[in-house]
Each structure stands twice: as structure tokens, then as C-alpha cells.
């Protein structure tokens, strides 16, 4: 007889990590640390094509289609002698979706660009910190409050 295990699927989640100051980092390393800092990349993960996807979108002067992103990423990885792993069209689209889910990139008429063509700090402040993070923190507070209500022993 097998037991049914319930899967707790979060409504939203975010991972934030603190690293050293970004002063002396080269461009790709800076984007990599940003991806690590906001949970798009895991520490020690060798599959880091998301770094190059974000990098080429940041460098682009015009919005890019997913095909353009794929081509630019492949060219960038070849020039920098990086392994050509994770460059399948399906993976590029999946990584673009992850960037969209965190409000960093938006899709407008089948092309991708940094959200509202604005500075990332504006997007982070308005969409991630004020909206996304605050709603998660508020829900966690509700759980903490409910646990206190049910389990706090007052002697």
C-alpha cells in the first residue's frame, strides 16, 4: 500500500543572497553575481546560460526575439570559449520565462527587453521589493502570527 504524499507548491518564492561588493568584477562576472544574488543561478552551478541570456539582453540596443537571443548567446559563448551547454531553443525560451517571472525581462510583440526599458534598480525596487517580496513577507508574517496564536504558551 503506497502513501500519497502531498506536494506543497508555493504561490510565489524568491531567493536572495548577499555577496561581496561588485566593484572589481568584469561584466559577465557582474551579471553572474546578480543572477546568483536573486536566485536565478545556484552556487556552483555549471549550467549558467541564463547569465549570458541576461547579458546579451542588457547589452542589446534593441529588443531581441528568442531566436536573436539564442544566436547572440551562442556567439558570445563561442567568443569567450565557454561550453555550448544549455543553448537549445527550448532552454533559451525557458530561461527567458524565468527572467520574465522575476520581472527583469518583458516580452512585447514577440521580442524581449529589460522591463519597460528602465534601469534594473527601478524594476527591483518597484516590482520585486515592493510588490513581490512584500507580499511574500506579509504571508510569512501571517503564518508566524497564526503559529504564535496556536502554540504560544503563556504561563
CATH, domain range 27-117: 1.10.10.10
Q: pTM score, two decimals?
A: 0.87
Ranges in the chain, pLDDT < 70? 1-2, 6, 154-155
Question: Counting beta carbons within 10 angstroms of the beta carbon of residue 49, is it exposed (0 to 12), middle (13 to 18) or buried (19 or more)?
Answer: buried
Dist CA 112 CA 98 (whole Å):
12
pLDDT at 27: 96
Note the residue count of the chain: 155
Domain-wise residue ranges, the chain:
27-117, 118-155
pLDDT at 7: 80
pLDDT at 1: 55
pLDDT at 152: 87
pLDDT at 46: 83
Cell readout for 108 is 512585447
Give the start-end residues of each E strand in the chain. Answer: 105-108, 111-114
**Quick one: residue 121, left, alpha or beta (phi over 0 = left, psi -120 to 50 = alpha)?**
alpha
Backbone angles phi, psi at 88, to 5 degrees: -65, 145
Amino acid at each position: 500500500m503506497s502513501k500519497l504524499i502531498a506536494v506543497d507548491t508555493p504561490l510565489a518564492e524568491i531567493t536572495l543572497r548577499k555577496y561581496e561588493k561588485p566593484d572589481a568584477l568584469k561584466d559577465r562576472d557582474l551579471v553572474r553575481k546578480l543572477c546568483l544574488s536573486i536566485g536565478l543561478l545556484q552556487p556552483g552551478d555549471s549550467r549558467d546560460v541564463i547569465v549570458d541570456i541576461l547579458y546579451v539582453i542588457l547589452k542589446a540596443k534593441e529588443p531581441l526575439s528568442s531566436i536573436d537571443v539564442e544566436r547572440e548567446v551562442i556567439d558570445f559563448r563561442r567568443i569567450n570559449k565557454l561550453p555550448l551547454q544549455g543553448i537549445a531553443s527550448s532552454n533559451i525560451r525557458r530561461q527567458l520565462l524565468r527572467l520574465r517571472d522575476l520581472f527583469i525581462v518583458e516580452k512585447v510583440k514577440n521580442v524581449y527587453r529589460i522591463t519597460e526599458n528602465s534601469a534594473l534598480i527601478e524594476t527591483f525596487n518597484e516590482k520585486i521589493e515592493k510588490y513581490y517580496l512584500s507580499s511574500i513577507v506579509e504571508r510569512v508574517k501571517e503564518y508566524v502570527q497564526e503559529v504564535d496564536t496556536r502554540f504560544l504558551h503563556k504561563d
